[in-house]
């Protein structure tokens, strides 16, 4: 049993993969948060641009 525990303790390949997975998950969560915060601004800008183009096309 001690040999098994020592082997698990010295084997760090799985821990590194988990750390990279957690970093990737954190980046995804931060990206979703940033995009959600900016979405209303982007929609407003597109709507303003659309109305300005429509007004410019009207004789």
**pLDDT per residue as tens digits for the range 22-35:** 999 999 999 999 99
**In whole angstroms, what is the distance from residue 29 CA to residue 18 CA?**
16
Confidence (pLDDT) at 3: 77
Confidence (pLDDT) at 57: 86
Average of pLDDT values for 23-52? 93
Both tokens of 2, joined, read: 């001690």
Predicted TM-score of the model (pTM): 0.53
Write out the E strands in 1-59: none
Angle, vertex CA 50, rays to CA 45 and CA 53, nearest 5 = 125
């Amino acid at each position: 049993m001690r040999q098994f525990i020592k082997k698990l303790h010295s084997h760090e390949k799985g821990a590194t993969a988990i750390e990279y997975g957690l970093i990737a998950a954190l980046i995804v969560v931060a990206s979703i948060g940033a995009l959600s915060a900016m979405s209303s601004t982007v929609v407003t800008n597109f709507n303003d641009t659309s109305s300005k183009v429509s007004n410019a096309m009207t004789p």
